Amino acid sequence: MLRLGGAVGKTFMIPYNAFHFKTLCTAKKSLAPMSLTLEQVKRIAHLARIEISDDEALTTQGHLNGIFQLIEQMQAVDTTGIEPMAHAQDVSQRLREDAVSEGDRRAAYQAVAPEIEAGLYLVPKVIE
Amino acid sequence: MINASLKELSLALAAKKVSSVELSSLFLDRIERLNPTLNAFVTVDREKSLVMARDADARIAAGTAGPLTGIPIAQKDIFCAEGWLSTCGSKMLANFVSPYDATVIRKMHAEAGLVSLGKTNMDEFAMGSSNETSFFGSVRNPWDTQRVPGGSSGGSAAAVAARLAPAATGTDTGGSIRQPAALCNLTGLKPTYGVVSRYGMIAFASSLDQGGPMAASAEDCALLLNTMVGFDERDSTSLERPVEDYARDLDKPLDGLRIGLPKEFFGEGCDAEVMAAVRAAIAEYEKLGATCVEVSLPNSHLSVPAYYVIAPAEASSNLSRFDGVRYGYRAPEYGNLDDMYMKTRAQGFGAEVKRRILIGAYVLSHGYYDAYYLQAQRIRRLIANDFVEAFKHCDVIMSPTSPSTAFKLGEKAADPVQMYLSDIYTIAVNLAGLPGMSIPCGFVGGLPVGLQLIGNYFAENRLLNVAHRYQQATDWHQRRPGGIE
């Protein structure tokens, strides 16, 4: 079962993969109304591994700031003592038997890969 | 035959008045003729469909057929189907032939014996309310081909509305079954979260995504839903529940039904004529024995803001898998590994998908997680609690499905926020995880209007009953667009 670092007392489900971010939980800060700078847009795009041109960054900045204006309405709400809700039924993660359940379908799965060799996925050289 | 209900088709097949091969060919011919105008399907494979149809005919001949064996349907291209292109409306997956079946597809093919006619167009990765974000181009609304069919299940909606298929699958993360159903005069149902397996349904926002049926009537939806549901150990949020027959309660009388009308959904923000059609439908329900009670969903105005934190956060995480390594698109030219990721994702994703990934990456990033992501999850609970309170006073909640009828192609495409507000009545239902439907309830200027029905958790049977009785008393759902014969 997964626990979200100290934020709540009770176990609850968190979205797929989002637990990577549990380490990012920090004390609540008060934030100024959101307005992203061009540099921030470029930094987020880099974090998300999406190449972005200066022109695209500018258009994106306008769109994102419009969206954040919408999102800002949330900040006016006092949610002290409200437990975050990650899942509709608040059920905890199911565990299964630690047993092999999948057959070997490597060839079928690799048939759709951009580049493979001898059963391995090929990517640009990572280690010099 | 093209306007027949699933029950009528089932009886015709069982009585051998028509074979599945004949029926499937009839719809495949219509697709061939009408799809160039509508762009509802992105993949059609006649041979594959006919193989399934021949299998179905053999099952019918052998007496081992289920109630829907041999009936052709359309599959939203978000569902992976083995041997079929499964693109999710994206360039990223434009070459992806799935090596496996989604659970919904497996159940429909192997268990129910339904025949897939093809894969329907959709907003890229289901992110959109107009079907204009598809890499494969916009879908056109059969009621007016200058207008959008809604989204993200717009291809499925257009296909069923134009009778290119008797019924279709859709998925709904913030309204993607209900809103296109409303805009195309269909009946669509988003089940309670956890009822339909998400395995093989390409993930957008995993805590909200839910598959469901889109069809011409509540009865058709009930029959189709019967083939889709069930516990699936391959989906970690699938719920273990006793199997229900969703056609069981269709005919129950509505005497004593308490309809909750949230005052927040009957104020400003909705087209006046759309609202008039919705109110007329509610008056019809009163004639059928229902009573109305005002309820309140005081946090409903926060559902769009909370959704546009939670859904992008989950999307940014889910879509990190598209990196040009294991499947899908890879940029033709790149330098190092990082450059390969950056160019692959820049070229493979469209503008709306990138926007949502960026929002998600931001709200999950250091220093903003609490203020945005956790705050949105707390508001999500407030929204869910509002429904718990409201359902103490009523059996079903009603509202418009969409604040307007189908808008023109391009009308909202330049302004993401305007587009997001198309889903003001539907999003809260996903955040709470409740079942919701849209049913046809009238027309404004020749364009369909949808009535939204919201039920308590696992009240699909009640919703289908409430929808069916209305459809016994009215004929809105039987109206078909002109010019598609």
pLDDT digit string (tens) for B41-61? 999 999 999 999 999 999 999
> Is B153 among the residues known to form the active site?
no
| Active-site residue (options: B19, B98, B130, B176) | B176
Contact at CB, B358 and A72, closer than 8 angstroms:
no
Residue identified by tokens 């609970």 is B381
Question: Which element (helix H / strand E) includes B12?
Answer: helix B6-14
pLDDT band at A96 (very low <50, low <70, confident <90, very high): confident
Closest Cα in chain A to B322: A49
CA distance A42 to A70: 21
Contact A67 B417 (CB under 8 A): yes
Reading the block at residue B109, the tokens are: 């093919």
Higher pLDDT, B484 or B333: B333
Q: Is B16 a catalytic residue?
A: no
Using a CB-CB cut-off of 8 Å, the residues of chain A touching B338 are 49
pLDDT in tens, B59-99: 999 999 999 999 999 999 999 999 999 999 999 999 999 99
Active site residue: B20, B98, B130, B152, which one? B152
Please tell me which of the candidates A26, A50, A79 has its beta carbon nearest to residue B375. A79
pLDDT score at B413: 86
Cα–Cα distance, A86 to A62 (Å, whole number): 30
Place of tokens 């990033």: B365
pLDDT confidence tier of residue A34, bands split at 50, 70 and 90: low
- For residue B485, what pLDDT band results from cuts at 50, 70 and 90? low
Q: What phi, psi does A110 have (nearest 5°)?
A: -80, -15
Please give the C-alpha separations between residue B400 and each of B134, B278, B430, in angstroms, as whole numbers. Answer: 26, 6, 16
Residue B85 per-residue DSSP state: B
- For position B303, what pLDDT does the model report? 97
pLDDT of residue A33: 52
Distance CA A86, CA B171 (A): 19
From residue B195, alpha-carbon distances to B240, B241, B463, B466 in Å are 8, 8, 15, 20
Name chain B contacts of A123, Cβ cutoff 8 Å.
Answer: 325, 337, 340
Q: How far apart are the first and last CA of chain B?
A: 12
Alpha-carbon span B176 to B179, nearest angstrom: 6
For the residues A80-85, what does the mean pLDDT come to?
95
Task: Decide: B12 and B4 in contact? Cβ < 8 Å.
Answer: yes
* SS3 assignment, position B80: coil
Q: Taking 50 as the threshold, does the pLDDT of residue A23 lie above it? A: no
Chain segment B122-170, per-residue pLDDT in tens: 999 999 999 999 999 999 999 999 999 999 999 999 999 999 999 999 9
- The shortest C-alpha distance from B127 to chain A (Å) reads 15
Burial class (CB in 10 A: 0-12, 13-18, 19+), B94: middle
B223/B221 Cα distance (integer angstroms): 6
Contact B106, B79 (CB under 8 A): no
**Does B452 score more than 50 pLDDT?**
yes
Contact A113 B314 (CB under 8 A): no
Catalytic choice (B10, B19, B49, B76): B76
**What is the count of residue pairs from A and B with beta carbons less than 8 Å apart?**
217
Query: In terms of pLDDT, which residue wins out, B483 or B371?
Result: B371
pLDDT of residue B150: 97
**Which of chain A's residues have a Cβ under 8 Å away from the Cβ of B305?**
70-74
On the question of pLDDT at A21 being above 70, the answer is no
Asked if pLDDT for residue B38 goes beyond 70, the answer is yes
Identify the pLDDT of residue A6: 33
Helix (H) / strand (E) containing A117: strand A116-117
Report CB contact under 8 Å: A26, B367: yes
Contact B242/B207 with Cβ under 8 angstroms? Answer: no
- Mean pLDDT over A67-93 rounds to 90
With residue B42 as reference, give the H or E element that holds it: strand B41-44
Q: What is the pLDDT of residues B209-249, one digit of tens each?
A: 999 999 999 999 999 999 999 999 999 999 999 999 999 99
Question: Would you call A16 and B380 a contact, using CB atoms and an 8 Å cutoff?
Answer: no
Highest mean pLDDT among A11-20, A80-89, B142-151, B362-371: B142-151
ipTM: 0.93
Give the containing element (helix H, strand E) for B211. strand B211-215
Q: What whole-number distance in Å separates Cα of residue B156 and Cα of residue B178?
A: 12
Q: Which pLDDT score is estimated for B104?
A: 98
* Residue B242 burial by Cβ neighbours in a 10 Å radius (0-12, 13-18, 19+): exposed
Our answer to whether residue B303 is catalytic in this structure is no
Q: How confident is the model at residue A10 (pLDDT cuts 50, 70, 90)?
A: very low
* Three-state DSSP class for residue A128: coil
Give me the residue spans of the domains in chain A.
Answer: 1-93
Q: Say which DSSP state B43 is in.
A: E
User: Which of B72, B71, B88 lies closest to B173, judged by CA?
Assistant: B88
In the chain, the amino acid numbered B67 is P
| Tens-digit pLDDT profile for residues B326-374 | 999 999 999 999 999 999 999 999 999 999 999 999 999 988 999 999 9
Question: What average pLDDT does chain B have?
Answer: 97
Nearest to B317 among A17, A85, A113 (CB): A17
